[in-house]
Chain A
Amino acid sequence: MLEDLLFNLQLVALGISNGAFYAMLSLGLAVIFGMLNVINFAHGAQFMMGAFVAWLLLTQLGIGYWPSLLLSPLIVGLVGVAMERLMIARLYKLDHLYGLLLTFGCALVIEGLFRNIFGSSGQRYSAPREFQALDLEFGDFFMPGYRVWVLIAGTTICIATWLVIEKTKVGSYLRAAVERPQLVQAFGINVPLMMTLTYGAGVALAALAGVLAAPVYSVHPAMGANFIITVFAVVVIGGMGSILGAIVTGFLLGFVQGVTDVVYSEASQTVVFVIMAIVLLTRPAGLFGRA
């Protein structure tokens, strides 16, 4: 009885730690959507790039996990900056459907490129041994130390991003520019540059999640595509563009998936979409969105 309970708790805990990935990814999407009005379909590919860059840094240059946590988001973020300047920025005057199509196309190209170069089988990327110190084990409850770390890191990253947006000067520029970009620019702020940097930051956030994910899932070209479908459901449930909504919904749905895994594990992958359908029917703007 107790053993069952502990085992079930373990599934729920794993669910919440998946939720940390959902939260980080949907947070990046929300930031980008708020500022650029672009639904960034390349987010999954950028997450995958984050994991791959970490793997490449390790295998090609011998650069380990900790430096990669910084370097990979920086590198992939710069790729994002280039994408925004060269392509996405040209579409702001058009309907945001075009931004969606463009980033979707970019995702396909990026994934295709990585598949061509690295093949579709997964690459192993091991977490540093020191995470074993964080292993949580009582009886049948076992949570690997790395999963504990993902939970801590993911929560910290989400809270830090939220604080930057809600409590800092830069954040006030961002919130203001989301409401009235023209007026903010007429106050002397370089809004086009802000949009570029915001996109870069959102992409870097995806890449950071990718590095965190590398030791959990194998590093392979489709890893982002698999993830991002669930993440888009999270975004729809939370409400497009809501920062807090993205974070809370991300963790919440990880938890719900974990619980479903316990109760009726066959449904654990579909439950998110069932919730999405219910939310769309009853609250189309999402749980945290403004209608």
Chain B
Amino acid sequence: MAEAMTAPRMAAAGTAMLEIRGLEAWYGESHVLHGVGLDIRQGEVVTLLGRNGAGKTSTLRAIMGLVGRRSGSIRFEGKELIAARPDLIARAGIAYCPEERGIFASLDVTENLLLPPVIAPGGLSLDEIYTLFPNLKERARSQGTKLSGGEQQMLAIARILRTGARLLLLDEPSEGLAPVIVQQIGAMIREIKQRGFTVLLVEQNFRFAQTVADRHYVMEHGKVVDMVANEDLAASMDRLHDYLGV
């Protein structure tokens, strides 16, 4: 919590690193995002909260260009990405860690770790990664999917820290993990924030979210319906309980 207090206040910042306006997305015929709007400034950790099916995962996938069709505007560091291919979006500096983690069974741990190509300088070195995640070094030759759930989550995040991407999209990294591991993941997110990464974090667990984030967006039915600064979270509990149904 102490870390969150040192975060830049909303008013203190300049223009946004990521600026999303009127984002709509479809999977085939099914229309899942209905005009999402949000901003993230350089260096912030921002969460997307919302119930199951609210459209959080779809928002991340739409940012990466992984939905069937999308419209609206996604500006990243001044560049419009709404029509770009996923590989070019990645090369613009955005990295994605999917909800299902996406560890490859036919690759060993090291191959999984080294898979995403370096797209810009400024990523963590392999040594720094191994310092942050010592388990990955010990299990270097294991098949990726033989790791425990927590280790797989660490691997899924570690591999996108190397690439030099500046904005990380993390989809529910705490999901399904034991409390100890969730704490480790929280510490790790605070650590990467320290190192200057910007993070858009999808969460359902706002107790976890409030330990890492500067601001929270709330999604419902494919739209962003509210925004709460982390320091106002306590005062907004009733509202959040309503949104999240907890």
Question: Which residues of A pack against B, CB within 8 Å?
Answer: 169, 172-173, 175-176, 178-180, 182-191
Contact = CB atoms under 8 A, between A and B. Distances in A.
B111 to A, nearest CB: 5
Interface in B74-105: 85-87, 89-91, 95-96, 98, 102, 104-105
B196 interface: no
Contacts, number: 58
A92 to B, nearest CB: 13
Interface in B104-125: 104-107, 111, 114-117, 119
**A-side binding surface: helix, strand, loop or mixed?**
helix
Nearest to A194: B87
A78 B104 CA distance: 31
Given A186-B64, A187-B117, A189-B117, A179 B91 contact: no
A186 B106 contact: no
Contacts of A179: 104-106
A270 B160 CA distance: 53
B162 to A, nearest CB: 11
Nearest to B145: A179
A188 B90 contact: yes
A185 B87 contact: yes
A171 to B, nearest CB: 9
Given A172-B115, A173-B115, A176-B115, A185 B107 contact: no
A277 B109 CA distance: 39
16 contacts: A169-B114, A176-B104, A179-B106, A180-B104, A182-B66, A183-B98, A185-B85, A185-B87, A185-B90, A186-B65, A186-B86, A186-B96, A187-B95, A187-B116, A187-B117, A188-B90
Nearest to B68: A93
A179 B106 CA distance: 8
B136 to A, nearest CB: 16
Nearest to A180: B102
Given A175-B107, A185-B86, 10 more contacts: A172-B115, A175-B106, A176-B104, A176-B107, A179-B106, A180-B102, A183-B102, A185-B87, A185-B90, A186-B90
Interface of B: 64-66, 85-87, 89-91, 95-96, 98, 102, 104-107, 111, 114-117, 119, 160, 163
Nearest to B88: A188
A162 to B, nearest CB: 13
B67 to A, nearest CB: 10
B64 to A, nearest CB: 5
B117 A188 contact: yes
Contacts of B107: 172, 175-176
A173 B114 CA distance: 10
B106 A187 contact: no
Nearest to B160: A187
A186 B104 contact: no
Nearest to A187: B116
A190 B84 CA distance: 12
A174 B41 CA distance: 36
A277 B180 CA distance: 53
A106 to B, nearest CB: 27
A239 to B, nearest CB: 14
Nearest to A176: B104
A187 B93 CA distance: 10
A191 B239 CA distance: 44
Contacts of A185: 85-87, 90
A218 to B, nearest CB: 41
Contact of A188 (B87, B105, B111): B87
A186 B111 contact: no
Contacts of B115: 172-173, 176, 184, 187
A173 B111 CA distance: 9
A178 B163 CA distance: 22
A182 B86 contact: yes
B81 to A, nearest CB: 12
B111 A172 contact: yes
Contacts of A173: 115
Residue in A175, A176, A183, A184 whose Cβ sees the most chain B Cβ within 10 Å: A183
A170 to B, nearest CB: 12
B119 A188 contact: yes
B163 A188 contact: yes
Contacts of B96: 183, 186-187
Contacts of B64: 186
A67 B155 CA distance: 46
